[in-house]
Amino acid sequence: MPNSIFDRLLAFCQPSQISEQLRAEPEELPEILLKNPSPILLEERLVNFQIPPISVLEPSLPGISARTLQLDIEQKRVTLEQRLEAFGAKSKVIRVSQGPIITNFEIEPALDVKINRITSLANDLALALRVDSIRIVSSLGSRGTIGIEIPNKFRETVALKDVINTKDFQESRYRLPLAFGKSTSGQPVIHDLTQMPHLLVAGETGAGKSVFIHSLILSLLLKHPPDTLRLLLIDPKQVELSAYRNIPHLVDKIIFTPESAVRSLERVVRHMKERYRLLKNAGAQNIEGYNSNPENIKLPYLVVIVDELADLMMVAKKPMEANIARIAQMARAVGIHLILATQRPSVNIVTGVIKANFPARIAFRVTSGIDSRVILDTQGAEKLLGKGDMLFLSPTQSNPERIHGPFTRQIESLQVVNFLLKQGIEQPFNWMPIPFGEFADPNDNDEESANEKEERPEDSDMITIETHQKVTYNSQRMR
pLDDT in tens, 53-76: 999 999 887 767 777 888 889 999
pLDDT at 47: 60
Model confidence pLDDT, tens digit, residues 277-333: 999 999 999 999 999 999 888 999 999 999 999 999 999 999 999 999 999 999 999
pLDDT at 327: 96
CA–CA separation, 420 and 414 (whole Å): 10
DSSP string, 322-342: HHHHHHHHHTTTTTEEEEEEE
Q: What is the mean pLDDT of residues 351-375?
A: 93
No. of H helices and E strands in the chain? 18, 13
Three-class SS state of 250 = strand
Sign of the C-alpha dihedral computed for residues 57, 173, 290 and 234 taken in this order: negative
End-to-end Cα separation, the chain, in angstroms = 78
pLDDT at 472: 40
Q: Which of 208, 183, 202 is nearest to 408 (CA)?
A: 208
The mean-pLDDT minimum among 142-151, 237-246, 348-357, 373-382 falls in: 142-151
Average per-residue pLDDT for the chain: 82
- Residue 50: phi and psi, rounded to 5, are -110, 130
Give the CATH number of domain 66-151. Answer: 3.30.980.40
Beta strands in 248-335 (DSSP E): 301-306
Q: What is the mean pLDDT of residues 359-379?
A: 93
DSSP state of 295: T
3-state helix, strand, coil split of the chain in percent (to 5) is 45, 15, 40
State the number of CA atoms in the 13 A half-sphere of 155 facing the CB.
Answer: 17
pLDDT at 67: 79
pTM: predicted TM-score of the whole model, two decimal places: 0.80
Q: What is the mean pLDDT of residues 44-49?
A: 61
Q: Give me the CATH topology for the region 160-422.
A: Rossmann fold (3.40.50)
308 within 8 A of 356, measured Cβ to Cβ? no
The type of residue at 189 is: V
Sign of the C-alpha dihedral computed for residues 248, 252, 256 and 262 taken in this order: negative
Q: What is the mean pLDDT of residues 85-93?
A: 93
pLDDT band at 419 (very low <50, low <70, confident <90, very high): very high
∠265-292-180 over CA atoms, to 5°? 55
Model confidence pLDDT, tens digit, residues 194-215: 999 999 999 998 899 999 999 9
Q: Which residues pair with 190 in a beta bridge?
A: 179
Q: Which residues pair with 401 in a beta bridge?
A: 392
